[in-house]
Structure 1
């Protein structure tokens, strides 16, 4: 697991989350496409190259999932988000950290998660840490 937050030369926030998963790329793709996006991205047409790439763009925000085989039976998921404002970056960081946790749980067969509550808690933690 690797999590990195950076600010580029234009002041945009970039979140990069990497997860090693014990599931094939095709399984990750199926689960990934069932994870809810934040409401402001839900209506944006994605760019997709199944089962390797899924990307959404709207305004100054871009989210991207890349899935690669890990050379064994699993895969590596790299999620990136670029957004123009600090507050959006901090709030959405909590959303995406939760989404990746839930994605891993779904892949492991646990479909009984309280995503909204967990996301609110993680967003608050991110606000405290980075706000």
Structure 2
């Protein structure tokens, strides 16, 4: 079965985190995310999921030269960034899109769906 990355973009100008949310909004978001995660888990489709801190907390590591270079910044700047993701197993793109639609409804945001590359036989 193919694995798909379902990713949730966030607006770079906002950098929302759970710590900055109002308590009632956080509670509602956690309940919706929890229900979605429960459905994913009980179906057997969930491989892994996670929420990421905003890009302002990133460090970019470059060890391609003689010296290790660290930059306290994301490797690229963009109007949106990856805020959270799920890796799911699905029999086909349509099934992965159905999971993304459920995530979008539950969390009130757009979800991108992309299949992982598979090594050719």
TM range (shorter): 0.3 to 0.5
Which structure would you say has the larger RCO, counting Cα contacts within 8 Å and 6 or more residues apart?
2
